[in-house]
Structure 1
Amino acid sequence: MSLISPACRDALQLWLDTQRALAGRAENTITAYRTDVVEFMSFMTLHFGATQGLAPLARIGVPDMRAWMAQMRADGIGARSLARKLSAVKSFYRWLAEREGFEPTAVLSTRAPKFQRKLPRPLAEDAARAMIDTVELQSSKPWIAARDMAVVTLLYGCGLRISEALSLTGRAAPLPATLRIRGKGGKERLVPVIPVARAAVDTYLRLCPWPVEPETPLFRGARGGPLNARSIQAVMAKARMQLGLPATATPHAMRHSFATHLLEAGGDLRAIQELLGHASLSTTQAYTAVDTAHLMDVYNRSHPKA
């Protein structure tokens, strides 16, 4: 942060602490926020030719914002990434303006570049099941094979994010009929655990050579430490190559598949929203890949006309 004044550095740290404590942001989000805002303030330092204190930051205008965005695009930053960076900067400025008492209109009114949102590509039901079975065959060590199968089964059978599955501790074992999951933003939700998922985890626990204590990670790496998400990504990559599945067959695709297959089976959209931990129903809709006619039928059944 050498290009940033001490006052700006302190303000940024205070904002990040606030985001962590009050908004419940995940550490990965905090890291991304820090990187994006530091990058922005460093650009403004070079743009104006002097280290920017809090007062100069308050005087940033529309031309300055345009210059920053143009430089980001010139550096090869895509529209989606730039929109994310702008969102972080706006969030910081909204907080800073209220704290310092200045008008942040120039920053907050800056429009994010348009980009086409990529729709998720869930696996077909038979492909999802084949993925689980094939993942189990990737390791010659029975306990690792059982571990990988248990994790992927939780992703598909319970709709968990990979981070949520790997954050489970020994306190969750043996898995109950319902799990309390802390998701994004610290939001908690209750997720039913299907019998096959409980059985998969039980098998893994019987074979795991590492003691699973209440405070230790439920899923262990090969050397006994916490299991890294990259390990599951890698084993799924091997499995999808064997099955001839596209590169989109990732751990997160199993979560998409969970939502889509529930909806196809007649599940209620709002109930699926709760299971996934989405704040917005539109986000849940984007997670599903069903045809419009079926989606309208679900809407009509969920929201009957008087």
Structure 2
Amino acid sequence: MSVSALLDQWRDHLEIARRRSPHTVRAYVATAERLLLALGLSDWQAIANISNRDIRGHLAARRAEGIGNVSTARELSALKSFIAFACEQTGTEGGTDLRLRGPRVKKGVPRPVTPDEATNLADMVMATSAAEWTGKRDAAILLLLYGAGLRIAEALSLTGAVLPLGETLVVTGKGNKQRVVPLIPVVREAVAAYAQACPHPLDGDKALFKGARGGSLSQGMVQKAMARARKALGMPDSATPHALRHSFATHLLGAGADLRSLQELLGHASLGSTQIYTKVDAARMLEAYRSAHPRERD
């Protein structure tokens, strides 16, 4: 089997069976391709039988090329998934390589935006858009991220079948796992305004958010709209679409939401992923203390 055929099967698995985001699919396929070309592998059995030593050597070569701990950890995660898929294709049991550990990566604390900043961003993407309907589209997406905690890929995977929106929305997240998220009125109204203004038909089985020519909207277009808006508002580069999801979680935690409920709303597989927001909230309280305490201002 050719390398191209192997990669096509891997890509289809990620896109269809795992419902991974386009960005993740590109990264995982590129990682697999580098491994196949570096080790000269061209069949699933050889991949399933790959040794710990080969994986370590390949990653060491990648480190020598200049990639850091975060990128190395991501590549190892992608390779583990790829090898596991190869084991499934061949019926190979176990896979000692799946026990490899990547470098320790210090998790950063997300930088949330304030509620006013989130509202201003939604308003600004409408003001800076080339067309009224695309402005309403981008505002609706940003409000879904901030008001419902969706990942950008989750928002863009919604179809016309969700219309008209009710008080809750069923979202398909990572690993094809579904969760129910509540929708506040401002989010429902923003999506309804976009749907009414969109010049393209919003068929039930097609993407809800359309590009200029009627096709599916890409993440890159949303990121560009966000970049224009934050520049116009003088906000830092950390104000990304994903930061809106962080803000959703941080503000709910600050308002008294418990971690388990927040885990469900965010679609996190483990509570550990959700616990990072306790650090965010603690950081905000410390900042408030330092700005208000008289001894801190001396």
Whether TM exceeds 0.5 here: the answer is yes
Q: Is the partner of 1:206 in helix, strand or coil?
A: helix
Deviates more, 1:107-116 or 1:255-264: 107-116
Q: How do 1:40-51 residues align onto structure 2 when only pairs under 5 Å count?
A: 40-45=35-40
Match in the other structure for 1:235: 225
CA 16–207 in structure 1, closer or farther in 2 if over 3 Å, else same: closer
Q: What's the offset of the Cα at 1:21? A: 6.5
Q: What's the offset of the Cα at 1:280? A: 0.8
User: Once superposed, what is the RMSD of the aligned Cα atoms?
Assistant: 3.1
Indicate whether 1:169 and 2:164 are aligned.
no
Check whether the contact 2:260–2:271 (CA below 8 A) recurs between aligned residues: yes
Letter in 1 for 2:159: T
Structure number with greater Rg is 1
CA 269–19 in structure 1, closer or farther in 2 if over 3 Å, else same: same
Indicate whether 1:252 and 2:222 are aligned.
no
Q: Is the partner of 1:160 in helix, strand or coil?
A: coil
Check whether the contact 1:8–1:53 (CA below 8 A) recurs between aligned residues: no
Match in the other structure for 1:302: none
Match in the other structure for 2:51: 60
Indicate whether 1:261 and 2:255 are aligned.
no
What TM-score, normalized to structure 1?
Answer: 0.79
Match in the other structure for 2:30: 35
Letter in 2 for 1:167: S
Match in the other structure for 2:281: 290
Q: What's the offset of the Cα at 1:209? A: 1.8
Q: Deviations over 1:169-216 (max 9, x none)?
A: 211111111111111111000011111111111222222222222223
Match in the other structure for 2:293: none
Indicate whether 1:134 and 2:124 are aligned.
yes
What TM-score, normalized to structure 2?
Answer: 0.81
Q: Deviations over 1:43-100 (max 9, x none)?
A: 223xxxx9899469747353x4443222101112222121122223234445656847
Q: In structure 1, what is the Cα distance between the partners aligned to 2:113 and 2:284? A: 20
Letter in 1 for 2:20: A
Match in the other structure for 1:26: 20
Match in the other structure for 1:214: 204
Check whether the contact 1:169–1:218 (CA below 8 A) recurs between aligned residues: yes
Query: Structure 1: 5+ residue runs without aligned partners?
Result: 1-5, 295-306
Q: In structure 2, what is the Cα distance between the partners aligned to 1:144 and 1:59? A: 48
Deviates more, 1:216-225 or 1:164-173: 216-225
Check whether the contact 2:21–2:153 (CA below 8 A) recurs between aligned residues: no
Q: Is the partner of 1:224 in helix, strand or coil?
A: coil
Correspondence for 2:68 among 78, 88, 107: 78
Match in the other structure for 1:299: none
Q: In structure 2, what is the Cα distance between the partners aligned to 1:121 and 1:180? A: 27
Check whether the contact 1:159–1:259 (CA below 8 A) recurs between aligned residues: yes
Q: Deviations over 1:148-173 (max 9, x none)?
A: 21111111111111111122221111
Indicate whether 1:197 and 2:192 are aligned.
no
Q: In structure 1, what is the Cα distance between the partners aligned to 2:140 and 2:92? A: 52
Match in the other structure for 2:290: none
CA 68–194 in structure 1, closer or farther in 2 if over 3 Å, else same: same
Deviates more, 1:240-249 or 1:79-88: 79-88
Q: What's the offset of the Cα at 1:9? A: 7.5
Check whether the contact 2:160–2:204 (CA below 8 A) recurs between aligned residues: yes
Letter in 2 for 1:266: G
Query: Structure 2: 5+ residue runs without aligned partners?
Result: 286-298
CA 185–95 in structure 1, closer or farther in 2 if over 3 Å, else same: closer
Indicate whether 1:118 and 2:108 are aligned.
yes
Q: In structure 1, what is the Cα distance between the partners aligned to 2:47 and 2:84? A: 16
Q: In structure 2, what is the Cα distance between the partners aligned to 1:52 and 1:188? A: 34
Check whether the contact 2:110–2:243 (CA below 8 A) recurs between aligned residues: yes
Q: In structure 2, what is the Cα distance between the partners aligned to 1:17 and 1:216? A: 19
Check whether the contact 1:41–1:52 (CA below 8 A) recurs between aligned residues: no
Indicate whether 1:225 and 2:215 are aligned.
yes
Q: Is the partner of 2:127 in helix, strand or coil?
A: coil
Deviates more, 1:94-103 or 1:30-39: 94-103
Letter in 1 for 2:190: A
Q: How many residues align?
A: 282
Deviates more, 1:232-241 or 1:92-101: 92-101
Check whether the contact 2:36–2:42 (CA below 8 A) recurs between aligned residues: no
Q: What's the offset of the Cα at 1:286? A: 2.0
Check whether the contact 2:111–2:246 (CA below 8 A) recurs between aligned residues: yes
Report % sequence identity. 45
